[in-house]
Structure 1
Amino acid sequence: MNRRPRPNKRDLIVEEASKLFYQRGTGLGVDTLIDEIGVAKMTLYKHFPTKDDLIVECLRFVDARYRDRLRGGLAAEASATERVLGIFDSLRDWFATPNFRGCAFVNATVELADPQHPAHRAVLEHKTSTREWVAELLIACGVDDPQFVARQLVQLMEGAITTAMLEQDPTAADVARASAAQILAASSSED
């Protein structure tokens, strides 16, 4: 008999709460979370003493999934430049999903507003690690200033995410990809 291991309660709470926060916002009440996840209040608070603790952990969970999604579109056999541009192909695929609701990190920042909220640090960590990851990819492209170009490309990514959400149009990624190609051509010493 082949049994799949059941996810532990903590992981289940994080995965389900992440979906709910993304779909409905971080203002979702604890009682609603408990009802929809199907756990006891005591179980939730055993793993997450406050709702803020849960929000932070959900953002970290989403961060890992976001990076996996972006990496999934990078073909190993592609040139360094095509690998960077593949980020925008991954974004386009994401934008076309039926549950796309923009960037969970921007949404959380707007919903929570207070820069002292514990989630603010998780948002900054996500944004910084994304920019660092893009800079690592850019080193192989031979750009003169990978840190600066990474900032440019991440801003294109952010703009594409926001535009795709507002206009409900996945082709925002195509526009950003074309702009990224121009930036890479202008800043690369590679032929």
Structure 2
Amino acid sequence: MAIDTATAQQQVLDAADRLFYERGVQAVGMDAIRAASGVSLKRLYQLFPSKDKLIEAYLAGRNRQWEQMLQEHLDAATEPRERILAVFDFLSAWFTQRDFRGCAFINSFGELGAISPRVAELAKQHKAGFRQALTDLAQTAGAADPDQLADHLILLSEGAITTSAISGSPKPAERAREAAVLLMRVSLPT
């Protein structure tokens, strides 16, 4: 019995997400995706005419997942300062996930950014969206210069993501949170 298009597409995306994130986008071929998804190679190419299209869909899915996880942490905090710190609580929770391998966008950009303008653009869009979220949080908290505070917070966040991925420890989120508290003391009204 043939599976419907939506189910086949989801099976392929689930397999691609798992394999690309675990092994890297260049190390995983379409045959590995076929085997992991249970979708025939012919059907796979009907759904995603090229590996580039599958990588784009993978990154789009990662972006939605990341935004949803971040928003859940932000929604749990009500006070503006606590909402900023919720970003680092989110990072800490993310870093302790069993399959944490760093940022899919940084990883993909590192592998393909120089040769794939589309991957580079998707990474830039993802990071710009994160920066905008931080700017909005800083503005709501009353920062005199929300852009400057957002720049500092994103550097703390991105540094924590990379350091945690390399070290295998969630501690960088805690240290970044501590630094964010210090930044907020000098950047936000008392």
| Alignment match, 1:10 | 9
Percent pairwise identity: 33
Contact 2:69/2:90 (CA < 8 Å) preserved in 1?
A: yes
Letter in 1 for 2:79: S
| Alignment match, 1:167 | 167
Do the aligned partners of residues 152 and 103 (structure 1) sit closer, same or farther apart at CA in structure 2, a change above 3 Å counting? Answer: same
Give unpaired runs (5+ residues) of structure 1: 1-5
TM-score if structure 1 supplies the norm length? 0.91
1:41 pairs with 2:30: no
SS of aligned partner of 2:143: coil
Please give the alpha-carbon distance, in whole angstroms, between the structure 2 residues aligned to 1:82 and 1:115.
40
Deviates more, 1:67-76 or 1:82-91: 67-76
| Alignment match, 1:3 | none
Please give the alpha-carbon distance, in whole angstroms, between the structure 1 residues aligned to 2:134 and 2:14.
26
Please give the alpha-carbon distance, in whole angstroms, between the structure 2 residues aligned to 1:77 and 1:86.
7
| Alignment match, 2:145 | 145
Do the aligned partners of residues 129 and 75 (structure 1) sit closer, same or farther apart at CA in structure 2, a change above 3 Å counting? Answer: closer
Alignment of 1:28-177 (within 5 A): 28-114=28-114, 116-177=116-177
Please give the alpha-carbon distance, in whole angstroms, between the structure 1 residues aligned to 2:60 and 2:152.
24
Give the total of aligned pairs.
Answer: 186
TM-score if structure 2 supplies the norm length? 0.91
Greater helix proportion: 2
Question: What's the RMSD between the two structures over aligned residues?
Answer: 1.8
Letter in 1 for 2:120: H
Query: 1:12: Cα distance to partner?
Result: 2.8
